[in-house]
Amino acid sequence: MSSQLTEGIRPAGAAESPAVETISMQAALNRALAEILAGDDKAVVLGEDVGRLGGVFRITDGLQKRFGPDRVFDTPLAESGILGMSVGLAMAGFHPIPEVQFDGFTYPAVNQIITQLARMNYRSRGTLPMPVTLRVPSFGGIRAPEHHGESLEALFAHVPGLLVVSPSSPHEAYHLLKYSASRPDPVVFMEPKSRYWQKGSVDFTDAGSPLGSKVVRPGAHLTLVAWGAMVARCLQVAELAAEDGIEIEVLDLRWLKPIDAEGLAASVSRTRRAVVVHEAPLTAGLGAEVAALITQQCFDTLRAPVERVTGFDVPYPSGDLEDEYIPNIDRILFGIQRVLEYRRG
């Protein structure tokens, strides 16, 4: 896992601010993009409304004014064109950072992502690397219309040649975006849009390891595995469970491709029970891969089957139906209860 992520890293950009600040994920991503552009004259940001408007979520706010329209530029409303242009730019020696406005809008660009972006390095026998970081505002939780909330991590993680990562906090967003932009590989960077305006502490001088998973709350009785927006929800669940004397470990998977099998095994070997939480539908969701890895690595120590708490096998709903679809605190607690009460035979 680590060799796949560490080989051939490009310089990440200008030195970070020496301060530790409490800022939103939106601000952390904006600062990371500014530092990437300042430190790499081949880096370009492109997408619908990323220039003058600063993006729908204002992630690119002020970047065009600072770096100019040749470095930060608007594109037509054509996701296949955005990704096709990014592939061409990478072939010409640039380091594109395209944005797709909403996760559901990536569907028209799936051909470019899978048959070109993911395969060009392999197809060219390494002569045409694809240092492209595709930013995708992802998942639900903002009560948006249809196609404005999806959970597509399993689709991208299934494709050889793509790396997939999803930050859960402002600190992770800042450091993981800078690391992703330093890669010579295409990275799908899935930003939990419901967390854009949640604030957290960012240490700009201490990134820690950008690789693998991360224990964000230690525990002894069960491991909750999550990524993106579901990490915060799992932390809420762990707080409630602690009131009843149940110590839940929360593992932020972070990298969805490659998955940190060693980190999973280390956590679950300690707690001997696991629940995987994600927003995507249950069937063939990434939780199935995580559960398989846990079972493979920890079969002899598991006290119960791995439980999955997920979305349902229906199209991702819009608006006020999201609350019925996205795993809530009660559903996660029920999943934990099923695992803790499991008895063999």
Pair of tokens at residue 25: 């994920």
Which listed residue (95, 147, 148, 278) is catalytic?
148
| Residue 171 known to be catalytic | no
CA 30/CA 36 separation, integer angstroms: 10
CA 48/CA 59 separation, integer angstroms: 12
Cis peptide before 258 (omega within 30 of 0): yes
Instruction: Give the position of tokens 């797709």.
Output: 100
**For 65-96, b where at least 16 C-beta lie within 10 A, e where not — what string?**
eebeeebbbebeeebeebbbbbbebbeeebbb
Cβ-in-10-Å burial (0-12, 13-18, 19+) of 184 comes to: middle
CA 278/CA 286 separation, integer angstroms: 8
Residues annotated catalytic, as ranges? 148
